[in-house]
Amino acid sequence: MKLLIYGDVVGKLGREGVKHTLSFWREKYSPDVVIANVENIMHGKGIGPAQIRELRDAGVNIFTGGNHSVEGKDVEKILNDETIAITRPANMREDLPGRGAVLYQIRNQKSDSPAGRAGIRNEGRVSLESETAESKAEVFQDFSQSRHGGTRLSNSPAGEYAGLEKSAAETKLLVINLIGQVFMHQEYASPFIAIDKILEEYKGKTPFIILDWHADATSEKTIMGRYLDGKVSAVFGTHTHVPTADAKILPKGTAYISDIGMVGPYESIIGVEIEPSIERFVKNIKTPKNPVETGPIEVNAILLELSDGISKPASAKATAGKAVDIRHLREIVTEYKI
């Protein structure tokens, strides 16, 4: 299974960066699923229906989040809509809208169309704001049917998945979202306890398990990677907006990167205007944090390749499909029209 995963998509330029690169990378890499972290898509902070629709229409299948996931327009409606494959960190307060994990069914891997290869269908037919229950079911049937589905996979040496028919149409991906506790402005529950609970809850559903690990400190990030080695297929960091050069496969088969980096303005301080940011630090005063909306766009993503084979013999206790490859992708887009 191939996954194209964008880091934090920041504002208008971030959305443009995804649209600009997705068709090219889809042709080049043929990903089975496309994922983006969207907590910054609405003018740098929060989410909104128009922006989610824009990325979905561009070909993004699954949306993950972070500390700004519960800010924006109609967030409760979006995050609670079970027909949209969207997560917010699982270890945020339980009474907040949304969910921390989704089980997504990958579709049509053999289709010749780019949309089919990316598991997309019925693109752009229904708006998030005006959909009826019936039309939602039609447009997002793949997701709504899969969230609590129990289809299992074959070709795994582990007994847990043995003897089950392998079919691209039945391949499922568990996407989990967590937020860190170090250097964050709010306090969150233990991400380690949260992930243990989620992995137990979804045990046996699929070997393809990935985590968007939205955290600030690289120490905390790498600890989570090692803690989950063999238990999930990939741990990819988001939140800092700065890519790290540490993409690797851990000993028990888990792909890891501390941070993918953002999709957003190249001439900026992690997405926002430079001068007010400098003033904030130099003078120790509050200044506006407006996203930059002109100039080059830096696009950071990873290309992940996963196998449903459980890693062995070094990791006899591994319970997740091992990663075959993790590659950081980076483009600077200088010519575009918005």
Binding site for Fe ion (CB under 5 A): 66-67, 239
Q: Which is nearer to Fe ion, 63 or 140 (CB)?
A: 63
Q: Which is nearer to Fe ion, 179 or 323 (CB)?
A: 179
d(CA 304, CA 294): 30
Is the bond into 313 cis (omega within 30 degrees of 0)? yes
d(CA 14, CA 271): 9
Least separation in angstroms between CB 262 and Fe ion: 10
Q: 293 by DSSP, 3-state: which?
A: coil
Q: Which is nearer to Fe ion, 51 or 67 (CB)?
A: 67
Least separation in angstroms between CB 39 and Fe ion: 5
d(CA 61, CA 277): 33
How far is residue 11 from each of residues 7, 124, 213, 267, measured CA to CA in Å?
A: 13, 21, 21, 14
d(CA 150, CA 9): 32
Q: Which is nearer to Fe ion, 44 or 66 (CB)?
A: 66
Q: Which is nearer to Fe ion, 224 or 306 (CB)?
A: 224
Least separation in angstroms between CB 216 and Fe ion: 8
d(CA 78, CA 127): 12
Q: Which is nearer to Fe ion, 63 or 161 (CB)?
A: 63
d(CA 38, CA 45): 9
Q: What is the DSSP string of 141-188?
A: HHHHHHTT------S-SSGGGTTPPP-GGG-EEEEEEEE-STT-SS--
Least separation in angstroms between CB 61 and Fe ion: 21
Least separation in angstroms between CB 156 and Fe ion: 34
